[in-house]
Amino acid sequence: MELRTVTPVYQRDFGVVTIMVFGWLIRAMATPSVDRVRSTIRALQWNTQDLLQDFDRTVLYAKLVAEDLEKYNDSDSVHELQDATLDILTASHNLRNHSKALDSISASYQPSSEVTNFEQLLRDRVREVEEESPFDPETHELLKEFKEAVWEVHHAGEPMPGQEEEEIVVTGASQAIPNTACALSGKPVDQLENPVRSRACRHIYERDAVIDYVRKHEAETQMTRRHRPHPCRCAAAGCPGILVEDQLICDRSLKIQIQEYMLRQQSSNVDVVADCTHIDEDDVTPLKASGSRRRS
């Protein structure tokens, strides 16, 4: 058995963190079967998705920590976190390219009489994927959100340098969680098993609940034999948006936004508890007392 592993090392001034980005494991045989290749790729893809989620969480944590550091005007540490975010976004992009390359190999591989050089095959497929999707981490949406979050600490409501006033409204709307609970199931968004959102109005739903809602509406419309079908309105109160089944999506940004919402809620609860427990002895007033407390 031959083990070939690609292990990029992610290094920063505050230490060395070794992240296993990609593992390529094949048996040393002349013509591995299609099933063996595909089963190996499936195993790798499973680990890849876990790692990609870890990357996204790390970027989110970096943004939240950067906000706190900015409050204390620790610009050096904020810049360090921004550089680290750039590195993680690059590593995440490269890992996604490897994942796409593996998918391509899985779909097209056929055994032949010649020995397959899997290492070279993977390298070639990765290069093809990279050529199809050029990448610049400086323009990545998550880096943009990082910079905007840091800017908002001391410049709330003000445009960033080079940003127009109307961009503030658009950006704020795209990043915020529009609803904290599914309008159909009533579940909080952080408890939804399969969250999706409408491209039109961005309201978040439990997938099964909203698909059932849309399909029931379509069935009722067909039963009434309307010549001009009435569109399915968003179930959120007061929302004029239209729900269309193929416009209900669960993308990477939705999962990150829900995670951010959860973390901010947890942080808010901790702050409230801290405020309530930080009471000086002299400020404690007996519950039975009415009016101000007299001191002896």
Q: What does the pLDDT look like over 145-169, one tens digit per residue?
A: 999 999 999 998 888 887 665 444 4
Integer-rounded Cα Rg, in Å, for the chain is 26
pLDDT at residue number 290: 39
Count of C-beta atoms within a 10 Å radius of residue 199: 13
Instruction: Examine the pLDDT at 288 and tell me if it is beyond 70.
Output: no
Q: What's the average model confidence in pLDDT over 175-193? A: 89
Query: 93-97, 258-262, 277-281 — which is least confidently predicted?
Result: 277-281
SS3 110: coil
Domain spans, the chain: 2-154, 189-272
Query: 60-74, 108-122, 175-189, 191-205 — which is least confidently predicted?
Result: 108-122
**189-272: in CATH 1.10.287:** no
272: confidence class by pLDDT, cuts 50, 70, 90: very low
pLDDT at residue number 238: 92
Instruction: Examine the pLDDT at 25 and tell me if it is beyond 50.
Output: no
Count of C-beta atoms within a 10 Å radius of residue 243: 24
Burial 108-119 (b: 16+ CB within 10 A, else e): ebeeeeeebebe
pLDDT at residue number 165: 54
Of 223 and 73, the structure prediction assigns the larger pLDDT to: 73
In this structure, what is the dihedral angle of CA atoms 139, 149, 20, 92, given to the nearest 10 degrees? -30
Tokens 């009471």 found at: 279
- pLDDT averaged over the chain? 76
pLDDT at residue number 205: 96
> Containing H/E element for 206?
strand 204-206
Q: Are 179 and 188 in contact (CB under 8 A)?
A: no
Nearest to 89 by CA among 120, 118, 125, 63: 63
pLDDT at residue number 233: 93
pLDDT at residue number 73: 95
Highest mean pLDDT among 39-48, 78-87, 101-110, 259-268: 78-87
SS3 23: strand
Instruction: Examine the pLDDT at 188 and tell me if it is beyond 70.
Output: yes
> Containing H/E element for 263?
helix 252-277
Interval 117-133: pLDDT, tens = 777 888 898 899 999 98
pLDDT at residue number 296: 39
